[in-house]
């Protein structure tokens, strides 16, 4: 039976009232605030302003003014880098406050969020270093009469829209790189988990980011996000969220042909061969499936097992899943926290019901957990899953692991590539040829070999197919927020093509 950590009452918690940031000023908003109910405890823990279309337009105007006439794009790279480094230090100093907010608003285990905040600090420092490495090109090879120079310039005003599952980490994968390039921004966090992003606004002001460079508007997608993605004064959109909303974002941005970066859904396979180190894999399978309660685009939600080991692997994964601690996000021993909303828990249960109707079998879990408050889901394993089932093709976004089987390498690759997503994948084998074959033929932005869900600021992240467009992180991350401009310079006298030379008229 799953070890349960009973949620404790938030007796000492007082709901925090936040304000949004527009042009350097903190505003409460004119309408009724959004109340965030903790998914683990069922009480109001935060209140956010309900941003309007008018608020969003004002924020865009502030970002436009800050880009066109303000100091930020005109600073030296070293000056911007110094401010980003100071922001990283301030994030580290307020890390416990940030972790607490993400834990209570998103239902994430506090120990996990502490790691995410530390990872964010590293990303901000990495972006600060890249700010000073941004450069163009020169071409002195075009003949005596021509010198070519290619400049990199900040793209302009960037709309950044982030999801609820990694509130602080994902804004850190976008915002510092946009700032490093010299861009100005409007940020919309999820209306469910806005607290840590609003604290980030305070941090950036203290670090020395000028007014209007970072504007944070809280509210819903139809009211705020739609304007951010369609407004003609916005030059680029960076969005992380569901594939469905990503498609809508792209449609909105197409009205003015904005640059779009999308990090969307995933249905990520782990392909396991008989010669794999199964002890290492079993741990990675449980971690990959249940990390962040499976509410993770990178979740290893599909196990594609060789038939000869499938039965044994499922038993071993189920045994380890029994020891996963589900419960109070504020307990440092908790490994799986709460499901984000009751509606999302209902969606997960709908996928399970459909899978069972289609012939899948529950090998472990399969039910919601009743703690008397909040909403929780038992880590679940489904076996006898076939590639055509919805639970094998669609993003459940919960702690649900689907098990499929294969006999040949070609069959494993076909199953892995048979869906619309291509965010990440894993392969487990002691044979490097096998790993490299899978790595080259599986269509995914990241392929882990004998590990899963490792990452670093230096490594690009993004997906193939309907998992998104573009890449975040990595040494080119700042370049994504720039345009290139060619300066073609002529040296010496120029010969006119259409006007006859005077000496030939004599």
Select which of 263, 295, 383, 472 is catalytic. Answer: 263
**Does the residue 456 lie in any domain?**
no
**Does the residue 503 lie in any domain?**
no
Residue whose C-alpha is closest to residue 48's, from 59, 32, 72: 32
Supply angle C-alpha 482, 488, 491, rounded to 5. 150
Tell me: do 96 and 110 sit in the same domain: yes
pLDDT at 85 over 90: yes
Q: Which residues contact 466 (CB under 8 A, 6 or more apart)?
A: 243, 264, 265, 420, 421, 422
Tell me: do 337 and 244 sit in the same domain: no
Tell me: do 211 and 300 sit in the same domain: no
**Does the residue 418 lie in any domain?**
yes
pLDDT at 499 over 90: no
pLDDT in tens, 259-284: 999 999 999 999 999 999 999 999 99
Tell me: do 111 and 251 sit in the same domain: yes
- The SS3 call for residue 154 is strand
Could you give the CA distance from residue 493 to residue 483 in angstroms, rounded to a whole number? Answer: 31
pLDDT in tens, 59-75: 999 999 999 999 999 99
Measured from the Cβ of residue 449, the count of other Cβ atoms closer than 10 Å reads 16
Question: Considering the chain, what is the average pLDDT of its residues?
Answer: 95
**Does the residue 323 lie in any domain?**
yes
Residue with tokens 């196990």: 303
Average pLDDT over residues 1-9: 66
Tell me: do 290 and 234 sit in the same domain: no
Task: Kindly give the residue spans of alpha helices, DSSP state H, lying in 361-431.
Answer: 390-393, 409-416
CATH code of the domain containing 355: 3.40.309.10
Tell me: do 276 and 259 sit in the same domain: no
Tell me what pLDDT residue 496 has.
75
Tell me what pLDDT residue 502 has.
59
Q: In the structure, what pLDDT confidence band is assigned to residue 131 with cuts at 50, 70 and 90?
A: very high
Query: Is the separation of the CB atoms in 274 and 309 below 8 Å?
Result: yes
CA of 79: how far to CAs of 202, 209, 374, in Å? 19, 11, 46
**Rounded to two decimals, what is the model's pTM?**
0.96
Q: What is the 3-state secondary structure (H, E, C) of 303-336?
A: EEEEHHHHHHHHHHHHHHHCCCCEECCCCCCCCE
Tell me: do 339 and 374 sit in the same domain: yes
- The SS3 call for residue 503 is helix
**Does the residue 385 lie in any domain?**
yes
CA of 334: how far to CAs of 5, 193, 272, 294, 330, in Å? 7, 20, 28, 14, 8
Tell me: do 307 and 222 sit in the same domain: no
Residue whose C-alpha is closest to residue 59's, from 209, 232, 212, 239: 212
Tell me: do 167 and 309 sit in the same domain: no
pLDDT at 498 over 80: no
Residue with tokens 């969005």: 239
Judge whether 263 counts as a catalytic residue.
Answer: yes
Tell me: do 55 and 88 sit in the same domain: yes
Q: In the structure, what pLDDT confidence band is assigned to residue 10 with cuts at 50, 70 and 90?
A: confident
**Does the residue 55 lie in any domain?**
yes
pLDDT at 8 over 90: no
Measured from the Cβ of residue 357, the count of other Cβ atoms closer than 10 Å reads 9
Domain holding 352, by residue range, is 269-449
Could you give the CA distance from residue 324 to residue 109 in angstroms, rounded to a whole number? Answer: 12
Could you give the CA distance from residue 22 to residue 217 in angstroms, rounded to a whole number? Answer: 7
Task: HSE, CB side, 13 Å, CA atoms: give it for residue 22.
Answer: 18
**Does the residue 498 lie in any domain?**
no
Domain total of the chain: 2
Tell me what pLDDT residue 497 has.
74
Supply angle C-alpha 287, 438, 284, rounded to 5. 10
CA of 218: how far to CAs of 4, 15, 196, 265, 422, in Å? 34, 17, 12, 23, 30
Tell me what pLDDT residue 149 has.
97
Average pLDDT over residues 210-229: 97
Tell me: do 288 and 198 sit in the same domain: no
pLDDT at 1 over 50: no
pLDDT in tens, 323-376: 999 999 999 999 999 999 999 999 999 999 999 999 999 999 999 999 989 999
**Does the residue 80 lie in any domain?**
yes
Average pLDDT over residues 186-195: 98
Tell me: do 13 and 153 sit in the same domain: yes
Residue whose C-alpha is closest to residue 480's, from 250, 197, 238, 172: 238
CATH code of the domain containing 216: 3.40.605.10
């Amino acid at each position: 039976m799953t070890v349960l950590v009973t949620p404790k009452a938030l007796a000492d918690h007082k709901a925090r009232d936040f304000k949004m940031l527009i042009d350097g000023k903190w505003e409460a908003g004119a309408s009724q605030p959004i109340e965030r109910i903790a998914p683990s405890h069922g009480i109001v823990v935060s209140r956010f302003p309900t941003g309007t279309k008018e608020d969003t337009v004002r924020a865009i105007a502030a970002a436009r003014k800050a880009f066109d006439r303000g100091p930020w794009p005109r600073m030296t790279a070293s000056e911007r880098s110094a401010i980003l480094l100071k922001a990283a230090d301030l994030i580290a100093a307020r890390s416990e406050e940030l972790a607490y907010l993400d834990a209570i608003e998103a239902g994430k285990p506090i120990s996990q969020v502490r790691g995410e905040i530390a990872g964010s600090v590293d990303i901000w420092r990495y972006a600060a270093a890249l700010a000073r490495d941004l450069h163009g090109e020169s071409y002195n090879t075009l003949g005596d009469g021509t010198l070519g120079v290619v400049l990199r310039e900040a793209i302009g005003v960037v709309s950044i829209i982030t999801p609820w599952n990694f509130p602080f980490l994902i804004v850190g994968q976008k915002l510092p790189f946009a700032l490093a390039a010299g861009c100005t921004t409007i940020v919309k966090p999820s209306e469910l988990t806005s607290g840590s992003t609003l604290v980030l606004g305070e941090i950036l002001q203290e670090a020395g980011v000028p007014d209007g460079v970072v504007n944070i508007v809280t509210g819903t997608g139809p009211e705020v996000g739609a304007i951010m993605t369609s407004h003609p004064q916005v030059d680029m959109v960076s969005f992380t969220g569901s594939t469905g909303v990503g498609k809508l974002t792209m449609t909105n941005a197409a009205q003015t042909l904005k640059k779009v970066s999308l990090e969307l859904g995933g249905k990520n396979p782990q392909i396991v061969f008989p010669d794999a180190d199964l002890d290492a894999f079993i741990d990675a399978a449980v971690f990959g499936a249940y990390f962040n309660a499976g509410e993770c685009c990178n979740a290893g939600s599909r196990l594609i097992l060789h038939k000869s080991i499938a039965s044994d692997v499922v038993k071993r994964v189920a045994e380890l899943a029994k020891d996963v601690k589900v419960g109070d996000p504020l307990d440092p021993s908790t490994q799986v926290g709460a499901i984000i909303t009751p509606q999302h828990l209902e969606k997960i249960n709908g996928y399970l019901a459909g899978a069972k109707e289609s012939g899948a079998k529950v090998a472990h879990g399969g039910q919601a957990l009743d703690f008397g408050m909040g909403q929780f889901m038992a880590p679940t394993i489904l076996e006898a899953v076939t590639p055509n089932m919805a639970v094998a093709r669609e993003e459940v976004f919960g702690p649900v692991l689907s098990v499929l089987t294969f006999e040949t390498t070609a069959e494993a690759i076909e199953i892995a590539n048979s869906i619309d997503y291509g965010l990440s994948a894993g392969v487990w084998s002691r044979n490097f040829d096998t790993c490299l074959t899978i790595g080259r033929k599986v269509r995914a932005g990241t392929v882990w070999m004998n590990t899963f869900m490792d990452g670093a600021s230096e490594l690009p992240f993004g997906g193939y197919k309907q998992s998104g467009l573009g890449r975040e992180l990595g040494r080119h991350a700042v370049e994504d927020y720039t345009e290139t401009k060619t300066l073609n310079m002529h040296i010496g006298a120029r010969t006119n093509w259409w006007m006859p030379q005077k000496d030939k008229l004599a």
